[in-house]
Amino acid sequence: MKNSNAWVFLFAGIFAMWFCFSLRLPPFIFIIIAIFAFMIGASEAKAEQQSQYEVPYKPYPSGPPVVASAATAPVELPEHKMSVSVPADLKCPSCGASIKPTDTKCAFCGSSLRPLIDLPQPANLASLEIGTTTRVSYEQFTDAQYLIRGRLLYTELWQASRGADVPWTPTGNHFTGFVLDQDAYLLNWQSRFYILTKRLALSDTDINRDFLPSAKQFAQSNQTANVEFSYSGLRWHIVDIGRFAIESVEGEGAHLSQGAIGRFIHASSGDLALIIEDFQSGGSGGQDTLWQGYLIKESNIHS
Ligand SMILES: [Zn+2]
């Protein structure tokens, strides 16, 4: 019973009783007024209760109803860091050289700086810097030189146990993705390293049709089953699925924004890698994307 006329009438009833009483009107008059007001109030309240039951449930025209599961469980993130916006153009107060908001020391003059943002340290590839080039070898004979344009810091999320009411929270692990020129992306996740060279925007329909059934099967086996699916003429083996939040975005060219929360599927076909990034529709900060590229070793990445 909220935002309703019912309260107005109920209070009017109480007020009428007090009013008549204080004016010493004959008792039958105030009893009639009060009963009248209470009856309207009660019927308003009843009407509203009924409308509350009638409105919300609208079954989706086709397909099964949405079942509460780990996939729909809430995500709980520490509040302090996710809302930081990184200034684009910072200068060293001593010498005026360009610095990064995370720098503790000026690379040009060596003076100590108080970092503007205390970003967590990624598990790997901490030495790669925006604005420098990196050489990545893959596919036995390919050796490509890339300019690092941007850096995304991922927060790994997990659920203590599977279920719709178990929130997803940070594991404490952070991994990095590097935006490279030539539309490439270098990604580390746990002990895996990927150079991704092909990118495709996906729709929810694409994901539900091509990848979700296999991902569900993999999830239900606690990620132990050998689950394969066909895509683009190849058989892909699911390696990992999970959730992430984007902790920070630095530099330029990033395909995700800070605070984006998504799910991923990592699959492989030999040395080939396929990565799905899936975001809830309704603007959680990212475009559903399929990446294709290669699984490489950390030693294939040269700063
Ligand atoms: Zn300086």
Q: Report CA(111)–ligand 1 centroid distance (Å).
A: 6
Assess whether pLDDT exceeds 50 at residue 114: yes
The whole-chain average pLDDT of the chain stands at 80
Q: Report CA(187)–ligand 1 centroid distance (Å).
A: 31
Which residue from 121, 51, 117 is spatially nearest to 85, judged by alpha carbons?
117
Q: Report CA(115)–ligand 1 centroid distance (Å).
A: 13
Q: Report CA(105)–ligand 1 centroid distance (Å).
A: 8
Give per-residue pLDDT as tens, 50-109.
444 333 333 444 444 455 677 777 888 776 554 455 666 788 889 999 887 777 788 889
Please tell me the predicted confidence (pLDDT) of residue 34. 58
Helices 27-54 and 5-22: crossing angle, nearest 10°? 170
Q: Report CA(224)–ligand 1 centroid distance (Å).
A: 51
Cβ(134)–Cβ(301) below 8 Å: yes
What residues does 296 pair with on adjacent strands?
Answer: 193
Rounded-to-5 percentages of helix, strand, coil across the chain: 25, 35, 40
**Residue with the larger pLDDT of the pair 43 and 168:** 168
Q: Report CA(82)–ligand 1 centroid distance (Å).
A: 28
**What value does the mean pLDDT take over residues 116-139?**
86
Enumerate residues 6+ apart whose C-beta is below 8 A from 31: none
Please tell me the predicted confidence (pLDDT) of residue 14. 59
Q: Report CA(86)–ligand 1 centroid distance (Å).
A: 19
* Prediction pTM value: 0.69
Neighbours of 249 (CB within 10 A): 23
* CA–CA gap between residue 74 and residue 93 (Å, rounded): 43
Assess whether pLDDT exceeds 80 at residue 6: no
Give per-residue pLDDT as tens, 258-293.
889 999 999 999 999 999 999 876 656 788 999 999
Give CA separation, 290 vs 73, 104, 116, 249, 270, in Å: 24, 36, 34, 20, 18
Please tell me the predicted confidence (pLDDT) of residue 135. 94
Please tell me the predicted confidence (pLDDT) of residue 176. 96
* CA–CA gap between residue 134 and residue 276 (Å, rounded): 24
